[in-house]
Amino acid sequence: MQIFEEKVRTALEANKKVIYKVTTVFRGNELMPRGYWVQAISTDGTLNFNDYVWNIEPGVAFDYMTGRSHLDASMQVKDGQNIVDRTKQQVKQLF
């Protein structure tokens, strides 16, 4: 999320007006969010994004139901467009 926060910060430092929204995305009764829907737009249109940020970390396994985590070297983050597309569809169903 740091990348998006820095973009907003940079726009604000340039005296732009920005609308910024972050929505946590949970599945069922889980205590820990699966990810974050991050949106921002500046009034002049130079800043404009609408993205999903996964709440994952390589080498760490999360139990989203309890919010606990443990080190797990086998946990890898795969970079695949099909995962992103599936997630966007799931998130859209929530709203």
What pLDDT does 91 receive?
A: 61
- Which pair of structure tokens corresponds to residue 37? 């829907």
Among residues of the chain, what percentage have pLDDT more than 90? 71
The tens digit of pLDDT for each residue in 33-57 reads 999 999 999 999 999 999 999 999 8
Whole-angstrom CA distances from 20 to 24, 25, 54, 78 are 14, 16, 18, 28
Residue with tokens 């990810």: 35
pLDDT band with cut points at 50, 70 and 90 for residue 16: very high
pLDDT band with cut points at 50, 70 and 90 for residue 27: very high
Q: Please, what is the average pLDDT of the chain?
A: 88
What pLDDT does 85 receive?
A: 66
The region, left, alpha or beta by phi > 0 then psi within -120 to 50, assigned to residue 41 is: beta
